[in-house]
Amino acid sequence: MRNNPLHAVLRQARRRKGLSQAALAAASGTGRITIARLEAGGTGDFRVGTLARLCEALGMELSAAPRDVRPAPETLLARERERIRRLDLRRRHAALAARLLAAPPAKAAMLLRNARVAVDRWERERLCSQHYISRWRSLLAGSARSAALRLLEHDSWTDALFQNTPWSAALEPAAT
């Protein structure tokens, strides 16, 4: 996709993810009209922040590179390994969500309580930013069922949150 115009790359990525323009707008915090203009090859100026949010929501990386220069194989390999690591974290959290939904209520409540204790420790020992902690608190709010369902939702913060997770003791081992 390197030589495709930006509008075609974004449209293809959105369609591959099965997102409507409205769904991408909600996931990226961008207006649907802006996305429509971009995908139509609009000639207006678009902010880098807007493009970055769209790329993040689509699981893409926004970068600038000289024309006709290909990334080194090591760079491509590192990017692919990182992409696989992020997908594995999502898979492991989805498996945990399934376990929470299938577990007896007492077991699910215990797992949720342990995750909340981990977030409390992060806050008490100032191990994470308050913004990060508040995001996890909202994900862990309510019942084990509601927390499990929120683990299955993905937004622009998902990958960042899953890197440092209060569920680490409950996750299955990483894929090798």
pLDDT above 80: residue 2 = no
The total number of structural domains that make up the chain:
2
Q: What are the tens digits of pLDDT across the range 44-69?
A: 778 888 888 999 899 888 887 777 77
Ramachandran assignment for 100, one of left (phi > 0), alpha (psi -120 to 50 degrees), beta (any other):
alpha
In a domain, 105, yes or no: yes
Same domain, 81 and 53: no
Give the mean pLDDT of 4-8. 77
Nearest one of 156, 102, 165 to 133, comparing CA atoms? 165
Same domain, 91 and 138: yes
Cβ neighbours of residue 12 under 8 Å, at least 6 residues apart?
A: 1, 4
pTM for the model:
0.61
Same domain, 104 and 37: no
Q: What are the tens digits of pLDDT across the range 141-173?
A: 999 999 999 999 988 888 889 989 999 999 999
In a domain, 68, yes or no: no
Domain of residue 40: give its range.
6-57
